[in-house]
Amino acid sequence: MKLEVIYEDNHLIAVNKPAGVVVQENDPHLKSLQEAVKLYIKEKYNKPGDVFLGVIHRLDTVVTGLVLFARTSKALVRMNEQFKQREVEKTYLALVRRKPNPMADTLVHYLKKDKKNNRTKLYHEERDGSKRAELYYEYITTANHCFLLKVKPKTGRPHQIRVQLARTITAIVGDVKYGQTKPNSDKSIYLHALGLKFVHPVKKEAITLHAPLPNYGNWKFFKDIEKNILEE
């Protein structure tokens, strides 16, 4: 697996995940991003034995973009706490086929994971076993019959962005699991983890990371504005 490394130091490493790759191994027949990054570190630094690499957060297999790993147990514990306390600012880009109305809004729902079918159920009121989910979306621009949304999830629930957009606007392009009728040719969906802002767990410096959009399909129409979106 060819890795696109976005950021690297003694404590953290961030990579730009392609579609079709699992973040953490859950099937022995599938190579995970975690294992690929461990191999990269082992070879680059000539490390003997097993390489420590902590999974801080995950992206769905069909989603592209920024994934941050911890290279030390101290960094893992501290970054986990930042995510738990919702101190990490996450920015995604999504493409849909319908212009949202309103153009910007905060969505609050209650989500419950259906593990058997690997789907998330959405409710407008709290149910047994459900968890509160909140995100902010904003319409940015249109190209090639696609509407670009900036999405900032406040919580981090399974399939959160996918199901909340599907139930309030329309399903993300290519996302047949949540309502689209036509899959993308590479089985991806047009959802990309564009950036993360957080405090470095050891250096205590403000860090902003940006994972460039894939250079294919409808993403190509938005490559010239992606960095400006993150800086806004």
Other beta carbons within 10 angstroms of residue 139's beta carbon come to 18
The reply to whether 128 belongs to the active site is no
pLDDT digits (tens, 9 = 90+) for 171-189: 999 999 999 999 998 889 9
CATH number at 92 reads 3.30.2350.10
pLDDT digits (tens, 9 = 90+) for 87-127: 999 999 999 999 999 999 999 999 999 999 999 999 999 99
Q: Is 0.85 topped by the overall pTM?
A: yes
Query: How many structural domains does the chain have?
Result: 1
Q: Is the pLDDT of residue 85 over 80?
A: yes
Q: Give the C-alpha separation, 147 to 227, whole Å.
A: 17
Domain encompassing residue 55: 5-231
Nearest to 162 by CA among 153, 154, 171: 171
Instruction: Spot the catalytic one: 60, 105, 175, 186.
Output: 60
Burial state string for 191-205 with b = 16 or more CB within 10 A and e = fewer than 16: bbbbbbebeebeeee
Give percent above pLDDT 90 in the chain.
92
Which two structure tokens, joined as six digits, stand for 207? 């860090």
